[in-house]
Amino acid sequence: MNRLFSRRNVLRGAGVAITLPWLESLAPKSARAADDVRKRYLPIFLPNGAAELWKPSGMGAAAAWKLSGVLEPLTALKGKVTVLTNMENGTSFNANSSASVEPSHGRQPGAWLTCQDPGVIRGQLGLAEANLPSIDQRIAKFLKGKSPIDSLQVGLSTTTSFCDSQPCSNSRTISWNDKNLPTYKLVDPLEVFNKLMGVVMTTMPGSMPAMPDLEAQKRLAMNKSVLDAVIANTTATRALLGAQDQHRLDDFLDSVRAVELKATSASTGMGGVACTPIAKPTISDPNKPINNNNFARQNTASYNKGTHADVMNDLIVMAFQCDATRVITYMLEDERSEFAYDHVKRRTFTQDTSTETSGTCGEYHNGGQHGDQNDFAAITWWNVGKVAALATKLDAIMEGDKSVLDNTFIMFGGAMHGSDHACDRLPLALIGSGGGTFKTDQHVQFSKRWLRDLHYTVMTQMYGMTGDDVDKFGVERANLPKTLIQEILAV
């Protein structure tokens, strides 16, 4: 038997298939080639736009620019960050590139990763909800077969948000598949964990949601771990490893168990899979109406938004570390989030700094976006902090001479400017170099640049994509040719 069986090694057991991280002992020589780079794509969606003080001071590279007070949680990672100013997506809706797109919350997010007006696509196809495939799904199609899961959609939403008189798929998802349908996010951490661990998920006929398989239910009922299902395979695999890789395997399995415990605890507090394993949690059901009595609109005794974000970060790190998937979309909230951020301390901001003050912030939309702008900035700052924490963890995992973050392209931003709802001057920070494709540590300010050009640059330069998935991406209403954003390219 050839023990060098695959670059992706798997521990198998009853209902479980755990993809291992890179282990040199099990890697064929062909897989150690320098050009075998796992390039990951991670768009992270920020709802409601951002506070005015998002924009950095100074322009250029290295010491020529400085992160703003809102972006200061990224300070330790500044050398791996690029901020783009004056990107716009109004052109996806208006031939004259007008930044006025109303109703804003209900339309703009649907174009963030498609650069198409979903309303036009619905009319063309005669469907109640539709859009053209988003960039993440086009990349996932191009990478199909490279990892066990083609793409993963996750988020932190805990309440059904206001859909602004538009189909709710426009504001509750940013990912659209090749059938022109929304690919809704998973918000229950245990659902995400089970998916990454290879636990079989089944969908019943009709409107029944996805359910864990029987083995998963048994483990939950008996308080057992997925690691218990793969003990025999783990022992056999460990015997094939060198001493250094044995330590790596042990560390990885320890992290799996730690994340499993966090995910189970968070799921229980949300009334999710760990609480009722035979039904998908209502909080992640995109079709449920608003019900103030049944949906969490703020932190409770059993639910904490920060804990939810932390465990989702851990799951994303695990997914990339194991090469379970190379494409993840992450929504920090639905677009018109009405969650009360009473866990966030109030802050006051200057251009380059911020200072914590007394009290806590209120509801994200009315009390934040349309309330005190320091509160809005504090909520944005908190979200930036969670993204920074995620990026820091990715940067700590090495793959040869580069970190996982170095091989990842994080597109962090929102679909509108901020309190004015304009579809220009979009908040946009790029983190990681996408495997050496992009420059970092710079602030690039355009007079005006269509967001479609960024997606086009990612597809063609980071992945080498060609054909219809590239040529037919983005609406042609404005009659603008696709052009590369040369300012961000490393070569």
Q: Which residue ranges form the domains of the chain, and what is each CATH number?
A: 37-187+281-488 (3.40.720.10)
pLDDT tens digits along 341-369: 999 999 999 999 999 999 999 999 988 89
- How crowded is residue 55: how many other Cβ atoms within 10 Å of its Cβ? 18
pLDDT reading at 275 higher than 70: no
**Mean pLDDT, to the nearest integer, of 459-464?**
98
Q: Is the pLDDT of residue 204 over 50?
A: no
Phi, psi of 221 (to 5 degrees): -65, -35
Share of the chain above pLDDT 70, in %: 86
pLDDT tens digits along 174-191:
999 999 999 999 999 999
- The torsion angles phi and psi of 264, rounded to 5 degrees, stand at -65, -40
3-state secondary structure of 285: coil
Residue 107 dihedral angles phi and psi, to the nearest 5°: -120, -45
The predicted pLDDT at position 205 comes to 34
Using the structure block, give the residue that is written with the tokens 């768009």: 43
Mean pLDDT of the chain: 87
pLDDT band per the 50, 70, 90 thresholds, residue 400: confident
Q: Which residues pair with 438 in a beta bridge?
A: 489
For residues 373 and 346, give the distance between their C-alpha atoms in angstroms, rounded to a whole number: 11
Give the pLDDT score at 1.
Answer: 31
- Kindly indicate the confidence band of residue 173, based on its pLDDT and cuts at 50, 70 and 90: very high
pLDDT average, residue stretch 211-222? 64
Position 286 scores a pLDDT of 38
Of 47-56, 186-195, 201-210, 443-452, give the lowest mean pLDDT range.
201-210
3-class SS shares of the chain: helix, strand, coil, % to 5: 35, 20, 45
Residue with tokens 């005794």: 301
Instruction: Provide the pLDDT confidence category of residue 475 given band limits of 50, 70 and 90.
Output: confident
Q: What are 17-68's pLDDT values in tens digits?
A: 888 887 877 765 554 444 568 999 999 999 999 998 999 999 999 999 999 9
Average pLDDT over residues 457-464: 98
| Burial letters 463-475, b for 16+ CB under 10 A, else e | bebeeebbeebbb
Q: Note the pLDDT tens digit of each residue in 290-323.
A: 444 445 678 888 889 999 999 999 999 999 998 9
When pLDDT is cut at 50, 70 and 90, the band that residue 4 belongs to is very low
User: In terms of Cα–Cα distance, which of 373, 410, 477 is closest to 117?
Assistant: 477
**pLDDT at 34 (0 to 100):** 45
pLDDT at 332 over 50: yes
Question: In the predicted model, is pLDDT for residue 413 greater than 50?
Answer: yes
> In terms of DSSP bridges, do strands 398-399 and 402-403 run parallel, antiparallel, or are they unpaired?
antiparallel
